[in-house]
């Protein structure tokens, strides 16, 4: 889950300059997939991996702006099938296990021993899954808008829960689907997004994306338009993952939390997040001694919500300051 970061707010407050990457590369990870990878900031700085949302959202220059470029070595990549990675919109050999393996391949390719994980929404899901698989290669986690990939979370968003707050938008999302199929909106859209007709795929991609996008920003109404290929990749990949329950066992990320409880973590969560409600963030943080949950008032889901952006910036600047003091505390 997560739409284009910049679109949901006109005000980003004081962030660091985006800068230009000092390294860009296309990494062949096998299975016919080539990943776009970039590095920004200080080549000798503290490594941090940015995990974008979706699945299918891709990374953007805005995501670089939460990190002091003098202190952090920031790694961003477009996950399989989206952004500048190729082939676009492909779901072949595209599962959570593949993405975890890709992250390990990137880490080894860049010669990084361990890194801080920064991810929101689906990016938080992937950060948790990777950290639990490879805790020795993680120094901490900074998460936003927690999504744990459980059926109850999918039911909230695609089974009528959020519709109680947005009945007009839910009606627009349901409108392209015959009434007889509306008891399973993920399945109904899947049949259309994966039809053999590319034009038909495109017609159903935009309403899929717009339902999520419309609920992401509390502060402002998002645009009802998106580039056609972006919408197609986003909708197909997200639907693919949600049709398979994110390729996770039910409750897996809570079940296996013990593997990462020694790591520091900060969760930044919008109080009125309608895409990923705060209950999941609270469940994840409860009983994790080194995890700090920060509920942000008057805020929704999007990375670019003003208070969300400001809080994430405070977190990353505080970690920088702790590093400089040499105390070793913090994420």
Backbone angles phi, psi at 50, to 5 degrees: -95, 125
**What architecture does CATH give domain 5-149+249-325?**
3-Layer(aba) Sandwich (3.40)
Q: What percent of the chain has pLDDT over 90?
A: 90
Residue 317 is among the residues annotated as catalytic for this protein? no
| 207-216 core/surface letters (b: 16 or more CB in 10 A; e: else) | bbbbbbbbbb
pLDDT (tens digit per residue) in 122-143:
999 999 999 999 999 999 999 9
In the predicted structure, residue 8 carries a pLDDT above the cut 90: no
pLDDT (tens digit per residue) in 156-205:
999 999 999 999 999 999 999 999 999 999 999 999 999 999 899 999 99
- Spatial separation of the C-alpha atoms in residues 44 and 253, rounded to whole Å: 32
9, 52, 273, 299: the active-site residue: 273
At residue 328, the pLDDT reads 55
- Spatial separation of the C-alpha atoms in residues 212 and 166, rounded to whole Å: 11
Query: Cβ of 283: how many Cβ atoms within 10 Å?
Result: 16
What is the CA angle 145-116-103, rounded to 5?
Answer: 90
At residue 5, the pLDDT reads 46
Q: Going by DSSP bridges, is the β-strand pair 138-144/115-120 parallel, antiparallel, or unpaired?
A: parallel
Domain locations in the chain?
5-149+249-325, 152-246
121, 280, 299, 304: the active-site residue: 121
Residue 121 is among the residues annotated as catalytic for this protein? yes
At residue 115, the pLDDT reads 98
280, 301, 304, 309: the active-site residue: 301
Query: Cβ of 237: how many Cβ atoms within 10 Å?
Result: 26
In the predicted structure, residue 329 carries a pLDDT above the cut 60: no
- Report H helices in the chain: 96-110, 122-133, 151-158, 167-174, 185-193, 198-216, 228-243, 252-255, 279-285, 306-325
At residue 218, the pLDDT reads 81
pLDDT (tens digit per residue) in 58-86:
999 999 999 999 999 999 999 999 999 99
């Amino acid at each position: 889950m997560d739409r284009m970061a910049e679109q949901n707010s006109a005000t980003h407050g004081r962030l660091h300059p985006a800068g230009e990457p000092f390294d860009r590369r296309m990494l062949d990870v096998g299975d016919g997939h080539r990943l776009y990878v970039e590095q920004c900031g200080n080549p000798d700085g503290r490594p941090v991996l940015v995990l974008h949302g979706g699945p299918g959202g891709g990374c953007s220059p805005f995501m670089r702006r939460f990190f002091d470029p003098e202190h952090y070595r920031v790694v961003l990549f477009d996950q399989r099938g989206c952004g500048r990675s190729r082939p676009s919109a492909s779901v072949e050999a595209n599962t959570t296990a593949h993405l975890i393996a890709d992250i390990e391949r990137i880490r080894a390719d860049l010669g990084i021993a361990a890194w801080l994980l920064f991810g929101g929404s689906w990016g938080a899901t992937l950060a948790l899954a990777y950290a639990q698989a490879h805790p020795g290669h993680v120094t901490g986690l900074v998460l936003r808008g927690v999504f744990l990939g459980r059926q109850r979370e999918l039911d909230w968003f695609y089974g009528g829960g959020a519709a109680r707050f947005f009945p007009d938008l839910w009606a627009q999302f349901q409108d392209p689907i015959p009434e007889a199929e509306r008891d399973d909106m993920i399945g109904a859209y899947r049949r259309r997004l994966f039809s053999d007709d590319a034009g038909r795929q495109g017609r159903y991609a935009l309403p899929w994306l717009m339902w999520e996008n419309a609920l992401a920003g509390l502060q402002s109404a998002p645009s009802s338009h998106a580039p056609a290929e972006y919408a197609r990749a986003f909708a197909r990949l997200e639907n693919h993952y949600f049709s398979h329950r994110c390729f996770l066992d039910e409750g897996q990320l809570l079940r296996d939390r013990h593997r990462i409880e020694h790591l520091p973590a900060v969760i930044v969560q919008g109080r009125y997040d309608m895409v990923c409600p705060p209950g999941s963030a609270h469940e994840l943080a409860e009983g994790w001694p080194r995890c700090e949950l920060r509920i942000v008032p008057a805020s929704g889901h999007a990375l670019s919500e003003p208070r969300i952006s400001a809080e994430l910036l405070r977190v990353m600047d505080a970690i920088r300051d702790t590093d400089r003091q040499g105390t070793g505390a913090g994420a």
